[in-house]
Structures are given as structure tokens and as C-alpha cells.
Amino acid sequence: MEMNRQIFTIEQVNNYVKSLMDKNPVLQNLWIRGEISNFKLHSSGHMYFTLKDNQARIKCVFFKNYAYSLNFVPTDGMSVIVRGNISLYTRDGQYQLYVQHMERDGIGELYAALEALKEKLMKEGLFSQEHKKPLPAYPRKIGIITSHTGAAVHDVIKVISKRNPTVDILVIPVAVQGENAKDQISAAINYANTREDIDILIVGRGGGSIEELWAFNEEKVARAIFGSRIPIISAVGHETDFTIADLVADVRAPTPSSAGEIAVAEISSIHEALEGLDRRLQDTMTNKLKELSNYLDKLSNSYVLKYPERLFAAYEQRLDYATEKIMTNMDNFISARSDKFVRTVSYLEALNPLSVMMRGFSIVTDIEKGSIIRSVDELHENMQVKIHLTDGNATCNITSKEKEPANENWSR
């Protein structure tokens, strides 16, 4: 027996074991669940870690050419499911898992729960646009609810201080991951709302795995954000991370630094806005005064104020017209009277006995009685009568008389 012994080198043994393993179909394609520990990313791009559970552990290597397609960075404590083949690293005599594929464990359930909660809150209207509160344009104090040790708080403070070093900041420190995170975050939001001095709240944290961001997917946090009187900007993780807190918040900032930019305007733009208002105030007043003075000019150039005498022209005209009218009336009146007078005069003329006598008639009067003789009946023989002519009279004796019967009608 001793004579037949064959002595191998270690390498030969390891190579032999390796060849047995490589021939075993079971070991060629295995799915294994476990938790990552001792994770190391080598500068070559290869990943080395140990997969463990409560009972055992196994060495793993994840070569760069397989690892490049990962959509997350593996970290210690992360639960994963891997697929690969078992082989031996002959130099160390160490068997290990050569990983070809890795996925997050439990993520499926996590996402399902997330979707269910999202659906429920959406139906309740927690995400609806009508509940979004506008951000004040000129906040005096910003509350930051996040971890006071993380990079997020630094980023926000840096951005705000740079943009507007007159805006106050109150950091309300909370755990942003782990068991207490959801209680602390919601309590901090409620506390901030008891104060009167905070104009905007920024709630968030820096990037991390979905488990690390999980507090921002909790219903309790969502309800605290929804109930906040103070407008809330969410700032959770990176651009690509979308949590329920982001959906409920009044404004979602892709990163903590951009939350600072959204919350606070550059002080130079505030100065500009103020100058713009000053200009408008001056312009509008200048315009108003110019307008009023133009109006005043227009008024003083108006017809009546410029030619006040024309105000009376109409009255003068009326007066002239009236005067003229009264004159005409007067003339008419006078000429009417005058015509009548002339007619009367000529009528009187006609009655004047002298004028009758001028035409050759004469008047005979009784000398004794002095009365006018109208009829031969008043005459008798030897009666003395006087004959009146226009230029004198004569006394006569009646010698005879004779009545003309034809003329009887004439006497009255």
C-alpha cells in the first residue's frame, strides 16, 4: 500500500476538485438567496463579497463584465438573490460562487405594497393638484426636516445661504431611515406647523437604496405632509427616486440642493423686483400727474374759457332780435294809428262846414234866433236872414219863397 502511494501537488488536487465541480450540472447554475457582507468593489471593477444567512456563508465574486448591468450598488446588509456557478479558486483552495446575475430580494413585495398605498392615497385625493399650496415668494424662514449629519442638510444650507443670505434656516433633525424615521419625520412636520415663523418646509434626505428611502413612502409621513399648513418641498434621494412623499408634497425637488433653489429666490432678483416696482410706482405717478395736467390744459384751452365773450354772444343775439322785434311792432303800431288818424282827419275834414262852403254852398241863419235855416218852412216874407259865406256874410230880406216838393225828402 505504501509502495503504491502517489503523491500529488496541491495544485493538482485543487485542479482535480475544480474539474469535478465544473462537471457537476447542479453546480453550474444555482440560485442563492442571502445578505451581502464584506462587500468590496475593486478598482478593476470586479466585486468581491460574502453572501450569508443565519446558518452559513459563501464567498462570491462578481466580475465586471457581468456586474456592469446592475441598476443598483450592492451594499453590506442588502438582501439579494444571485445566480451563478460554483467553482474553485485553485490558488487558495477556496470554492466560491461566480455570480452572473444579481437582483434585490423582497423588492417585488415592497413595490407591490408601495403601489397599493399609492392607489389608496390617490383615491383619497392626497396627490391632487387642488391641494397643492403655493410657495411664498419671499420666505423669511425655511425649516429643513432631515438628518443633521447627512450631506442633504449641507447642500440645502449652502444653496440657500448663497442665494439669499437674509433667509433664516431652522434645522429640525430627524432619523431619515430605520424604524423611527417615519414617526420622527411626521412629528417634525406637525411640530413645525405649531410655529408661526416657518414659511416653507423642506423634507428629505440624500440618495440611498429603496429601503433607505422607505420612510418617505410611509403612509404616516404622507398624511403629515398632506396635513401641513406650511407648504412643503420634498427632496428625497436623486432625480430618479420618486417616493409617495414626493407625490403628496406641494412641490417635488429632484435633489436637496434644488429644493434650496426652489425655496429661495436669488437676492439679486429680489433687488431687481423691488427696483422694478419702484420704477412702476414713479412712472405711474408721473403719468397720472401728466394726464391730470394735460386735462387741465385741455380745460383751460376749451372754447368758453378761451373766448369768454362768446358765452354772451347768444344772449346778445337774442337781445338784438327782441329789440328788433319790438321796434317793428312799435312801427306797425304807430303807422296803424297814424293811418287811422289821417282817415279820421279827412273824415273830420269832410264834416267841416267851411270846406263844404268852399265848394260853393252857404249857410243861412235866422238873424233873430241865430239858428240855421234848413227848410223854406222856417222862412217868411220880410224876414231878415244872414247868409254865411267862407269869406264873410250878408244880411238879406226874404221877398218870396217857394217850396219844391221834390226836395222834401232831403229834410230830416
Partner 1 sequence: MKTGADKDISSLNFEEAIAELEEIIDRLEGRESSLTLEEAVELYKRGILLSQHCKEKLEKAQQEINILIKNKDGELEEIPFLEEQYGD
Q: In the bound complex, what is the minimum distance in angstroms from residue 209's beta carbon to partner 1? A: 18
Question: How buried is residue 360: exposed, middle or buried, by Cβ count under 10 Å (0-12/13-18/19+)?
Answer: exposed
Using the minimum distance from each CB to partner 1, give the nearer residue, 7 or 137.
Answer: 137
SS3 99: strand
Type of residue at 175? A
DSSP 166: T
Q: Minimum distance from CB of 160 to partner 1 (Å)? A: 9
Q: Which residue from 57, 69, 70, 44 is spatially nearest to 96, judged by alpha carbons?
A: 57
Chain centre distance of CA 263: 22
Q: How far is the CB of 191 from partner 1 (least distance, A)?
A: 8
Query: Which C-beta is closer to partner 1: that of 61 or that of 172?
Result: 172
Q: Helices 107-124 and 219-227 meet at what angle, rounded to 10?
A: 30
Nearer to partner 1, 282 or 352 (CB): 282
Q: What are phi and psi of 258, to 5 degrees?
A: -70, -25
- Retrieve residue 411's grid coordinates: 229834410
Which stretches of the chain bind partner 1, using CB under 8 A?
136-140, 148-151, 153-154, 157, 161, 165-173, 267, 270-271, 273-274, 277-278, 280-281, 284-285, 288, 292
Helices 181-192 and 219-227: crossing angle in degrees, nearest 10, is: 10
How far apart are alpha carbons 97 and 44 in whole angstroms?
19
Shortest spacing between CB 295 and partner 1, in angstroms: 11
Q: How far is the CB of 153 from partner 1 (least distance, A)?
A: 8
User: 174 near 146, Cβ under 8 Å?
Assistant: yes
Distance in Å, CB of 248 to partner 1, minimum: 23
CB nearer to partner 1: give 265 or 383.
Answer: 265
Cβ neighbors of 294 (< 8 A, separation 6 or more) are: none
Minimum distance from residue 272 beta carbon to partner 1 (Å): 12
Buried b (16+ CB within 10 A) or exposed e, 230-264: bbbbbbbbeeebbbbbbbbbbbbbbbbbbbbbbbb
CB of 143 to partner 1, least distance (A): 9
Residue whose CB is less far from partner 1, 271 or 343: 271
CA-to-CA separations, 314 to 302, 304, 311, 359, in angstroms, rounded: 18, 13, 7, 63
CB of 60 or CB of 167, closer to partner 1: 167
Residue 50 or 147 having the CB closest to partner 1? 147
Query: Based on CB atoms, which residue is closest to partner 1, 271 or 337?
Result: 271
